[in-house]
């Protein structure tokens, strides 16, 4: 892939994540979302990558963000960030160390990281304990946002347990990879646990960009941008010989005798889809897919159970 195309892809990715972060900020006015779970239905859907990118996007606005590794069976974030903490989540919950001594800074400004010790027995019992509930409240008083990276729901119930404690839950769905039944089962599992499902994040979208993204991030720019640059002031140059361009004029077409047609408002350009990660999210929603979570689940054939509202 060409260098300018890679730059465009990174810009689309950053724009999608920032839109996701913005929608999370305004997901609830009365009860702002400050702590959330990022999970998926099955492994290899990119949930840890989404969690890290979302933490960076939230911190870019000057907020303090804590990224917590809650996959006590298969730790991922520490390896991605290249961090090695001496203590982790279990040591904090068991009062062996203080929170400030276990948290380590990251290379991302405003983002801190709390790792989890490997091979902890009975993770579900630890996460459902009263001490963990009190721990989440303590984090609310210390950080603006807290993001919990959890194992997939198809294998363990950790995400559903934490989702019942925090403010919201994001379900990452990998395009053309996860079966519809797995997504529906994960959603129903979260709702049974009482989790506040904010929406779905469609990951690994196909590499499609509109011409507006391509032209904007292209090195030469679009024709309109080049025309605007031609009118901008420039530094004096000393070419060997300058020639003035000859302007070509064409006679204007005669106006028709009839009344002009009613002006039509042009349709908005389609939203570009990011090629290496997230899809840009429409303003006012949380899901990164074209439709909202409810529409996605309705198209998938999901019907609410146990007295849920059909939203």
Which residue ranges make up each domain of the chain? 32-194+294-299
> pLDDT tens-digit profile of 36-49?
999 999 999 999 99
> pLDDT tens-digit profile of 68-97?
999 988 889 999 999 988 899 999 999 999
d(CA 181, CA 192) in angstroms, rounded, equals 16
Query: φ and ψ at 94, to 5 degrees?
Result: -90, 10
In 3D space, the residue among 28, 20, 26 whose CA is nearest the CA of residue 50 turns out to be 20
Burial of 235 (0-12, 13-18, 19+ CB in 10 A): exposed
At 86 the pLDDT is 87
> What CATH class does 32-194+294-299 carry?
alpha beta
> pLDDT tens-digit profile of 227-275?
544 544 444 444 444 444 444 444 455 555 544 444 444 444 443 333 4
**Confidence band for 206, pLDDT divided at 50, 70 and 90:** low
Residue 307 reports pLDDT greater than 50: no
Question: What predicted TM-score, i.e. pTM, was given to this entire model?
Answer: 0.67
Q: Do 197 and 311 form a contact (C-beta atoms < 8 A)? A: no
């Amino acid at each position: 892939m060409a260098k300018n195309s890679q730059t465009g892809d990174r810009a689309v990715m950053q724009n999608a994540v920032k839109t996701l972060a913005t929608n999370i900020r305004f997901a609830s006015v009365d009860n702002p979302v400050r702590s959330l779970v990022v999970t998926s239905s099955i492994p290899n859907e990119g949930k840890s990558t989404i969690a890290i990118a979302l933490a960076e996007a939230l911190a870019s606005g000057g907020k303090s963000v804590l990224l917590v590794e809650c996959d006590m069976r298969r730790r991922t974030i520490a390896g991605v960030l290249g961090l090695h903490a001496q203590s982790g989540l279990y040591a904090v919950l068991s009062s062996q160390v203080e929170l400030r001594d276990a948290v380590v800074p990251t290379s991302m400004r405003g983002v801190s990281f709390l790792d989890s010790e490997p091979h902890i027995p009975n993770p579900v019992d630890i996460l459902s304990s009263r001490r963990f509930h009190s721990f989440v409240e303590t984090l609310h008083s210390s950080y603006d946002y807290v993001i919990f990276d959890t194992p997939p729901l198809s294998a363990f119930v950790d995400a559903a347990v934490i989702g019942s404690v925090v403010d919201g839950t994001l379900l990452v769905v990998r395009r053309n990879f996860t079966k519809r039944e797995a997504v529906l089962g994960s959603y129903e599992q979260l709702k049974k646990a009482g989790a506040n499902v904010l929406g779905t994040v469609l990951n690994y979208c196909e590499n499609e960009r509109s011409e507006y993204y391509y032209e904007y991030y292209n090195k030469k720019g679009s024709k309109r941008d080049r025309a605007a640059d031609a009118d901008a002031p420039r530094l004096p140059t000393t070419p060997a010989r300058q020639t003035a361009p000859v302007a070509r004029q064409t006679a204007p077409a005669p106006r028709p005798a009839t009344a002009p047609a009613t002006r039509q408002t042009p349709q908005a350009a389609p939203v570009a889809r990011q090629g290496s990660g997230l899809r840009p999210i429409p303003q006012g929603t949380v899901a990164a897919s074209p439709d909202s979570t409810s529409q996605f689940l309705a198209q998938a054939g999901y019907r609410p159970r146990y007295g849920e509202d059909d939203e």
